[in-house]
Chain A
Amino acid sequence: MKYWKGIEELESTPEFMQSAFAEFMPVKESHESKDATSAPRRDFLKLMGFGVAAATLASCETPVRKAIPYLNKPEEIDPTISNFYASTYFTGADYNAVLVKSREGRPIKLEGNPESPITRGGLSARAQAAVLSLYDGGRLQHFAIKKGNAHEQVEMAALDREVRGKLAGTTGRIAIVSPTIISPSTKRAIAEFASRYPNTTHVMYDAQSVTGLLQANNGVVPGYDFGRANVIVSLGADFLGTWISPVEYARQYVRNRKVSSDKRSMSRHYQFETAMSLTGSNADVRVPVKPSEMGAVALALYNEIVGGGDASYKNAKLTQAANDLKAARGASLVVSGSNDPAVQTLVAAINQALGNVGTTVDLTAPSNLRQGDDARMAALVNDMNNGSVGAVIFYNANPVFNHPLGAKVKSGIAKVPLTISLNDRLDETGILCQYAAPDHHWLESWNDFEPKRGSLSLSQPVITPLFATRQAQESLLHWAGNTTTYYKYLRATWRALTPNDAAWDKVVHDGVATGTALPAAPAMMTAALSPAAAISQISSAPKPSGNAVELALYEKVGIGAGGCEANNPFLQELPDPVSKATWGNYVAVPRKMAVDNKWEQGDVVKVTANGYSVELPVLVQPGQTNGTVSIALGYGRTLAGKAGDQVGANAAPLAMATANGIAYNNVVTLTKTDATSPIAQTQTHHTLMDRKPVVQENSLANYIKNPKEVTEYEKIATPDGLEKPNKVSLWQDYQYNNHHWGMAVDLNSCIGCGSCVIGCQTENNIAVVGKQQVINRREMHWMRIDRYYSSAAHKTDFDEKGKVSTYAAMEDPSENPQVIFQPMMCQQCNHAPCETVCPVLATTHSSEGLNQMTYNRCIGTRYCANNCPYKVRRFNWFSYYSNEKFETVNGHMFTDLGRMVLNPDVTVRARGVMEKCTFCVQRIQLGKLEAKKQKRRPVDGEIVSACAQSCPTEAIVFGDMRDPNSRISQLLRREDGERAFHSLDSINVQPNVTYLTKIRNAESEFFGKENA
């Protein structure tokens, strides 16, 4: 099998070969014009003279530093001790129950709340990064009224007076526009507002709408359990990355994907999709289909399982999927990401027919995470434009940017007499509104949530509001004449659930509770379809001609469809799990289209539909369906803030929006422009090549046969015959008396979501470097997730299928490759090559198995990075905290406000030093100290690295290998000789990180390329 990280590598282009094996890419620094290229010698001497004098003067006196204690120390706060508070992250897209780590009263890190029955301690990359958005300087810091073209600061009371007066005088409809709200108390506050102003309607819309799904299921999103399904068929639903509740689903999904020699079974996952999504890259069988074919696929599946549909779409894998589904009645699951109610009706009917309702599909405890009704929103946009709306309030909603009818929303706002924005900043929508009453950040607010019927959670303020903002619910209540605080209001909602203070305190402490408080979902505007009607609708749908290029719009794992996290540089720099692109969106095209049109990666093309066009660079994406292109939503913000503005282009207007719904696909025309725009991709950085077992995988069939045969262990020739590489060594082995820290990464559980990457970044104060430095291969992430494409080229193929046909198959392997993810961080080698080459002993081995990096000793020779076989060392090229070049991307390290997010237990590294993963040594030290203080040994699970803690699928296990009862010791004992292997074992560096071979549950004939 051949692994490759990108098309460049597969094709071995000269550019790639030039830089593939170099640890550092030679970069020509471009100087800005003001930066005089040749400083005159006299100036240099003058400056040097001044510098020496200044340094001498400065060194005469030690600067006076102040120690400022609290005036009145809060009882629960002890400086330098972290407190944890339970809270909830939900910004209209993914839901995460979190624990907020707070130091001296400022939140510095979010961690998953293990008490939550929904997310069970996992955390998405977005939630990991969300703590940074609290300190976002781009937030609006006061109430404001628009005077002329600018918003002027006003007192809250003044704004309240004006708004209340105008609301009372409003004659037409009053609309509150928001994304999905799952807060019972917020809904109650909106209802109270509506009872004071009876013309009020509340319109919810989702940036990535699932109205079709809601319509097919009586207005709710069914509760899914991917863990109980043995066969999963997804029609374009990216349920591991972005669809509805990815952390919850990923957790369930992986439960039935973990294997051991005692449990040699796992679910089989079919994915029919257009763009290569995170979910598709994890599927056992992936079939590329065009967006316009999705209806036909659903129909064909319906035909196979229920019967009665037209079966014009034919594909051997579809038949196989249908057969597998039928064989697993009651333990299978079909989901669809389509927003077409007809497709969703058929999917619901298929699940019904398979007997999945009650097992994998739970209609009694539906999810509340999506409630947006496209038809209501479309009607409101029309009403705004025809002047029948008297007032509109935008509550954390930015439809001008993220709704496909954004332009009409914009023209509509101009016609509404009273416009109010409760958004946290003057964004694309807020800037158009007359009044701005910014909401608190969620870390500054009380709120409640009901993500799933019967499961509640709370959020609580963990910091005094940083700016002169007010909680949106309180604003609404004030305008409705209720001056109570929202906290009291919330308590009133919870009176029935928590009758006394003790019960309430317990809920605040735990963060989660059972019970239901949300009113029933309102009826959908459009009635549900019968399966027969759905069939005829799909059959009669207009088919684009075969030559037309179809566009599929998708949501990125990092940024999200709504773009509300766009100003978060952590997420902008998080590489896309599949394309590994950072900082911006692009047109993902299949390789065939690029070759046919002679497009090179980075060529800018113009994509036109609905009379709107965007210009974006081309990215050749293996696995992209032929005849289609894909663009990510959520990019191209213009008023997000320093980091998020002008990154990519807004693709939302390219969607098909009709009165009844939105389809996230369209037929587009592509024209090449003369411009080029490089894409900051990390995929071929740090390439590992020609070393065979970097990453290993095998099939479930082989695993069932013999678990001891699935992993290839390299042997080396010695005078005594073939031996394990560690039998021959120049070095003496270390002895670990106390602890021996180790990590195991189960490649079968890793879905590549990137949560660990952001967890590591927030924990370790890792700098954001910006697009140009990523292009220069200088990203600082200590942990990366390597994504390899692989194409089947078995040695046996030559004998079985004949040489000619095998070579022919190998010629074009990138059409629908398989994908494997491998988290890669410092392997903490016991015989570390980096340690032996450091001339100043800045990297040394500890008595606990850690490969220590001492920044204050490092002089930056970079020998260690050159000698690292895993390419995990990062050189700090610039003062990312003070060099003005990085102020837009790494701004949080430049201001007192932003610096509050930094972890005070980890140094901010200076320019010119090497840095790398430390196994979160600060957490190890803290855990050991706590144990020593309590005069005991550390308990397994008490000391966890940030990546292991963040992982929603528990793919990473961290612990003490000296403790025979620790999880990692047990795992390694169990998997030794079966799935456990070290990456690059033959070079005998003896890593402390162990990987477990990935097992795929696919029939062998479906490996690799197949006629789509």
Chain B
Amino acid sequence: MNSNRLRSLPQLLLALLLTFAGAQQAVAQASAAAEVKTNGVDPGATAGATAANATAPAAAPAGGDAAAIAAGDALFKGNCAQCHAVNEQVVGPALGGITKRRPISWLIPWIKNSSKVVASGDEYAVALYNKFNKQQMPSFALSDKEITSIVAYITSEEGKATAVAGAGPTAGNAAATDGKTDGAAGAAEGAGKYVDILLIVLVVVLIVLVVTLVIIGNLMKDVLRGRKDLDGRDVEILEQRFDWGKFYRSPVMRGIVGTVFALVLLYEGVQSVMAVGLTQGYQPTQPIAFSHKLHAGEHQINCAYCHTSVYKAKSANIPSANICMNCHSQIKTESPEIKKIYRAIERKQPIQWVRVHNLPDLAYFNHSQHTQVAGLQCQTCHGPIQNMEVVYQYSALTMGWCINCHREMPINSKDNKYYDNLVKLHDTKNAGAPFTVSSNGGTECSKCHY
């Protein structure tokens, strides 16, 4: 009887193994779906923020022109958001209710050249200047119309931004599933949990069924053994044992096992050889615990504010310490991490960040080609950077990865005179086929190697 129970153990284990494998696959699929969701999000904008913005026009005051507000939104984020928030004092005062405090005719010269207004002896301006420790607001070369649209945006945002600030982090968290950091919470996790529970229940049921079956089988055997009216053949059937030894030794079995083993070995070998030099997921510890999640995610600082040349140069530019100081000369001055920047400046020793994305020297990559010309989002290659506490390498950065995108991605030829004739030529020759990067020679060797 005992031996009988043990004999069925391998079968049990196999069944368990199969169920778990299935479960794992399901989880992986779920997280992949979540990743797709995060792609294509505006730089610095979290899912929560976009949702909040979407409701903004509806709540806008009657006079607010939706287009002006949208333009103001972009301008505000590009120019003002580094120092101002609508409902919160950051470096400069909170701007909510500004139209009630100052007339637009005062605001325009102030934004264009604040020091001139202060110098003119304007009472309010001088008081404001002194209140903020004589910190000067830089001048902005904005047109009157642009300033008006910023003000329209501010008015539309009044009172809501707190909700955004409150919703932002949680919504951001909900969107974060990178499949890398364990225990990543969020939407995918919710879905995952449900699947997990279902699977666990199924597995338990399965185990119970199997155990019950084995018990029933043994019980029936015992009952049969107790009966005396069995003839020789019946006894033979009853006492029949599956000859595992013969099964193991059979050439068919050996052949199958051997082939599977060889295939697995080959597959793993090829995989590991192909992975030589690949550093996908590389997440080094940086000298300063800078959080992209905080800056790009929660505070929605535009990527180009720090990575100044991402739209114009080959390199996106790792920000220099003076860019940090634009804000951190005022904000969080007591933080031990920020103090590292102060020390670097005092000692005149630049901060030595650890490079995360290491493209080999033989490959030429230009950021501006992809951001400015192609109009790609940062996240397309860098992943959900707005959720990364510590940056890691999201994409494989292999040639195959580059080439695949070049083969599939249609050229952003809209409003670009460079492509006008090419698009026409392409369309007349290949009706219907998209005008991809590779159809314009984007997969030729010397586009990247020289």
Q: Smallest distance from the beta carbon of A330 to chain B beta carbons, Å?
A: 51
Q: With contacts A69-B318, A73-B323, A932-B369 known, is A81 near B445, CB below 8 A?
A: no
Q: With contacts A66-B355, A71-B345, A79-B313 known, is A929 near B369, CB below 8 A?
A: yes
Say yes or no: is B5 at the interface (Cβ < 8 Å to chain A): no
Q: Are B345 and A852 in contact (CB under 8 A)?
A: no
Q: With contacts A62-B279, A71-B345, A738-B440 known, is A78 near B361, CB below 8 A?
A: no
Q: Are B446 and A936 in contact (CB under 8 A)?
A: no
Determine the chain B residues whose CB is within 8 A of the CB of A906 once the complex forms: 450
Q: Are A65 and B418 in contact (CB under 8 A)?
A: no
Say yes or no: is A528 at the interface (Cβ < 8 Å to chain B): no
The 14 sampled A-B contact pairs (Cβ below 8 Å) are A59-B276, A65-B358, A66-B355, A68-B353, A73-B323, A78-B317, A79-B309, A737-B422, A847-B441, A855-B449, A921-B446, A933-B312, A935-B415, A936-B417
Q: With contacts A62-B279, A78-B312, A935-B417 known, is A68 near B358, CB below 8 A?
A: no
Q: Are B446 and A71 in contact (CB under 8 A)?
A: no
Q: Are A71 and B348 in contact (CB under 8 A)?
A: yes
- A79: which of B315, B352, B353, B418 is its contact (CB, 8 Å)? B315
Q: Are A907 and B362 in contact (CB under 8 A)?
A: yes
Q: Smallest distance from the beta carbon of A851 to chain B beta carbons, Å?
A: 9
- B445: which of A67, A80, A844, A931 is its contact (CB, 8 Å)? A844
Q: Which interface residue of A69, A72, A854, A905 has the most chain B CB atoms within 10 A? A: A69
The contact string, 1 if C-beta is below 8 Å from chain A, for chain B 343-362, is 01100111111110010011
What residue in chain B is nearest A856 (Cβ atoms)?
B362
- B350: which of A59, A71, A847, A850 is its contact (CB, 8 Å)? A71
- B322: which of A71, A846, A852 is its contact (CB, 8 Å)? A71
Say yes or no: is A360 at the interface (Cβ < 8 Å to chain B): no
The contact string, 1 if C-beta is below 8 Å from chain B, for chain A 917-934, is 010011001001101110
- B358: which of A62, A73, A933 is its contact (CB, 8 Å)? A62
Determine the chain B residues whose CB is within 8 A of the CB of A936 once the complex forms: 417-418
The contact string, 1 if C-beta is below 8 Å from chain A, for chain B 300-339, is 0000000011001111011111110000000000000000
Number of interface residues of B (CB under 8 A): 53
Q: Smallest distance from the beta carbon of A783 to chain B beta carbons, Å?
A: 16
Say yes or no: is A146 at the interface (Cβ < 8 Å to chain B): no
Q: Are B351 and A69 in contact (CB under 8 A)?
A: yes
Say yes or no: is B368 at the interface (Cβ < 8 Å to chain A): yes
The contact string, 1 if C-beta is below 8 Å from chain A, for chain B 250-284, is 00000000000000000000000000110100101
Say yes or no: is A974 at the interface (Cβ < 8 Å to chain B): no
Q: Are A929 and B317 in contact (CB under 8 A)?
A: no
Say yes or no: is A70 at the interface (Cβ < 8 Å to chain B): yes
Say yes or no: is B236 at the interface (Cβ < 8 Å to chain A): no
- B422: which of A62, A738, A844, A855 is its contact (CB, 8 Å)? A738
A856 to B410, CA, bound (A): 27
Q: Are A847 and B444 in contact (CB under 8 A)?
A: yes
Q: Smallest distance from the beta carbon of A900 to chain B beta carbons, Å?
A: 16
Q: Are A70 and B450 in contact (CB under 8 A)?
A: no
- B308: which of A78, A857, A928 is its contact (CB, 8 Å)? A78
A99 to B251, CA, bound (A): 80
Q: With contacts A67-B355, A937-B417 known, is A81 near B313, CB below 8 A?
A: yes
- B444: which of A65, A844, A905 is its contact (CB, 8 Å)? A844
Say yes or no: is B372 at the interface (Cβ < 8 Å to chain A): yes
Q: Are B444 and A852 in contact (CB under 8 A)?
A: yes
A921 to B448, CA, bound (A): 10
A846 to B315, CA, bound (A): 26
Q: Are B309 and A80 in contact (CB under 8 A)?
A: yes
Q: Which interface residue of A62, A70, A71 has the most chain B CB atoms within 10 A? A: A71
Say yes or no: is A160 at the interface (Cβ < 8 Å to chain B): no
Q: Which 4 A-B pairs have the closest CB atoms?
A: A847-B441, A80-B314, A852-B446, A73-B320
Q: Smallest distance from the beta carbon of B234 to chain A beta carbons, Å?
A: 64
Determine the chain B residues whose CB is within 8 A of the CB of A27 once the complex forms: none
Say yes or no: is B431 at the interface (Cβ < 8 Å to chain A): no
Q: With contacts A59-B276, A737-B422, A932-B418 known, is A68 near B350, CB below 8 A?
A: yes
Say yes or no: is A714 at the interface (Cβ < 8 Å to chain B): no
Say yes or no: is A362 at the interface (Cβ < 8 Å to chain B): no
Other than the given A72-B320, A933-B368, A935-B417, 20 more pairs (CB < 8 A) read A65-B354, A66-B355, A68-B352, A71-B321, A71-B322, A71-B350, A73-B308, A73-B317, A78-B309, A78-B312, A80-B313, A846-B441, A854-B445, A856-B362, A856-B449, A918-B446, A918-B450, A921-B446, A932-B373, A936-B418
Say yes or no: is A848 at the interface (Cβ < 8 Å to chain B): yes
Q: Are B418 and A935 in contact (CB under 8 A)?
A: yes
Say yes or no: is A853 at the interface (Cβ < 8 Å to chain B): yes
CB interface residues, A 896-922, toward B, < 8 Å: 905-907, 918, 921-922
Determine the chain A residues whose CB is within 8 A of the CB of B120 once the complex forms: none
Q: Are B422 and A69 in contact (CB under 8 A)?
A: no
Determine the chain A residues whose CB is within 8 A of the CB of B436 once the complex forms: none
Say yes or no: is A64 at the interface (Cβ < 8 Å to chain B): yes
Determine the chain B residues whose CB is within 8 A of the CB of A907 once the complex forms: 361-362, 449-450
Determine the chain B residues whose CB is within 8 A of the CB of A852 once the complex forms: 444-446
Say yes or no: is B105 at the interface (Cβ < 8 Å to chain A): no
Q: With contacts A62-B282, A935-B418 known, is A67 near B318, CB below 8 A?
A: yes
- B349: which of A62, A71, A922, A931 is its contact (CB, 8 Å)? A71
Say yes or no: is B447 at the interface (Cβ < 8 Å to chain A): yes
